[in-house]
A and B are shown apart, each in its own frame.
Chain A
Amino acid sequence: MTAPATPVRVFLVDDHALFRSGVRAELDRSVPDLTVVGEAGSVAEAVAGIAHLHPDVVLLDVHMPDGGGAEVLRKVRLVQPDVVFLALSVSDAAEDVIAVIRAGARGYVTKTISGRELADAVRRVRAGDPVFSPRLAGFVLDAFSDRPGAAPPTDPELDRLTRRERDVLRLLARGYSYREIAGELFISVKTVETHVSSVLRKTQMSNRYELSRWATDRRLV
């Protein structure tokens, strides 16, 4: 990974000031190629701040008053589609994870993640690659599984994972990094990234019952 010439501009959205300052201190202190340019504690503040500061990556809390992270995603993505979101939350319940991913987040990590891993995840979404935690990979595998009794897919292109995508997800769920997956499947890291991007696109666009159910639980679709 080559360090970019200018640092990645990060914006923090979380309604807990304590958590914001913790992340800010951690990123500012130990990660030279990331700078926290601003933070917000509410949906309205976040929308205004992101419009004003134009950050590269927004670290977004899922649970907030007034609609939560999904509301920020919806409002900002209409006007600034180039801003990348990485969801960050204490919850790793299926409906939360799937809901923000479908609202347009490029990845999802839980708040227990270490500072180094968080910085990695930020760089990765900045570079255009999705970040799937093992748990998210497990959810997506489950949502796309063809169990007996599941509704038949309506759009085969979007509602099915290819065999290769399934293999990649399985290895992600086992805790493999992209590089390790590439070695395991004898493909290039670039190909792994392509597969994961394709899975992300399907997760966001597919109308498979499990996905839309989790999303509609949060009134997103």
Chain B
Amino acid sequence: MHRRRSGRLVAGVAGGIADHLGVKVLWVRAAFVALMAVSGAGVLAYGLLWIFVRQEAVTVERPVPARERQQALGLAALGLGVGMAASALGNSTLGWVVGPLGVAIAGAAVVWREADEAQRRRWAGAGARPGWRAALLRVVAGALFVAAGIAVFLLGNLDMGQVQFGLLAVLATLVGVAVITVPWWVRLVRDLGEERSERIREAERAEIAAHLHDSVLQTLALIQRQSDSPREVARLARGQERELRTWLYGPGGYRRPGASDLADAGLTDALAAAAAEVEDTYALSVRPVVVGGDRTLDDDLRALVLAAREAMVNAAKHAGVQEVSVFAEVEPDEVNVFVRDRGAGFDPDAVPDDRHGLEDSVRGRMARHGGSVRLRSRAGEGTEVHLRMPTAVAAVEEKEHTS
């Protein structure tokens, strides 16, 4: 909601409300006049809206028919009349409003209008300010109105000793100054808010720029220098992609800062890290898919991850493919990991005795932690290593859940 700049009578409050609610401005003005009958609430409402609603930044051209202008002036006069009539009927609050305080209000209105103009000029960025003399005159006149109104109000309503009068005079002056300077206070608060959000945006930009510089630009530079080695380029690109993806979407990354550190990495992170390591070392793509939620690492699961890593390395070394699938399923009582490639494959029975990789680091490691290994491979059809590790931790967790 914004106050109108064009086609306004006083401060564009009624027009702004009409734009916001999508009704005719005449109705809004009539509502303010009606509110005048309720202890002059119309003036208060108008004043508060003037303070807290910003004027529109860009002036929209609105042709105002002469009739609407006449209606507005008529309504303003009517509002004044309603106020006076109500005060004549003995409403004391209104008596003040149309009396000396009315003068003060008129003075404040003149000063605030001038402040609106000053803000306009600041937005427009105009250095030279034609008619500043007249503006100054208006502000001074407005301030005088405010002071005079408050003074008359005090003299007329109070009959007290000199000391009390002195105190009240000081108070009245402070109130007068506060009223006159309302627009500047409001602007100060708003400018502070704008400055802060601007600073936050700036910091955000700087963080992103720094990250892109450290990671992406460096990698691109490396890629240009290594452009004669497709294998190396693919390795760099893949590593950078993974790193950026983690930063953008992963825990502890840009979108969820501080969500998690690698110190308490679970099974998902550990498998991803193992896959990343194999990707980097052997320049092929290893994309782990984990379902069934995460699990904190214990000795058994650590062994499982290491065995899975060894299986990935085997696939990378011997299968002769560009891609290895890793699928892990976490179930309440066991974790299954499948490492699969569509590469050369081999006959498990015909493996020469000197190849200890599978036997020791996969089968042996799994057996020591109570797990098992199933190997499926046939020459020409790829290899799949199925690692199964029963877990005891889940059973304990389950009990805690149900009790």
**Residues of A bordering B, CB below 8 Å:** 91, 93, 112, 114, 134-135, 137-138, 141-142, 145, 147-148, 170, 173-176
Contacts and interface: CB of A to CB of B under 8 A. Distances in A.
Nearest to B401: A148
B289 A135 contact: yes
A175 B383 CA distance: 11
Interface of B: 241, 249, 285, 287, 289-293, 322, 325, 327, 329, 338, 340, 342, 384, 398, 401
B292 A134 contact: no
Contacts of B398: 148
21 contacts: A93-B249, A134-B287, A134-B325, A134-B327, A138-B289, A138-B327, A142-B292, A145-B291, A145-B292, A147-B292, A170-B327, A170-B329, A173-B289, A173-B291, A174-B325, A174-B338, A174-B340, A174-B384, A175-B327, A175-B340, A176-B340
Contacts of A137: 289
A109 to B, nearest CB: 12
Given A174-B325, A174-B327, A175-B327, A134 B401 contact: no
Nearest to A145: B292
Contacts of B287: 134-135
A114 B322 CA distance: 10
Nearest to B381: A180
Nearest to A117: B323
Given A142-B292, A174-B327, 7 more contacts: A134-B327, A141-B291, A145-B291, A148-B401, A174-B384, A175-B325, A175-B340
Contacts of B293: 142, 147
Contact of B291 (A93, A112, A114, A142): A142
Most chain B C-beta atoms within 10 Å of own C-beta, residue among A112, A138, A148:
A138
Closest 3 CB pairs of A and B: A175-B325, A138-B289, A174-B327
A92 to B, nearest CB: 8
A169 B293 CA distance: 17
A93 B250 CA distance: 9
A134 B249 contact: no
Nearest to B250: A93
A112 B327 contact: no
B321 to A, nearest CB: 11
Contacts of A114: 322
Nearest to B402: A148
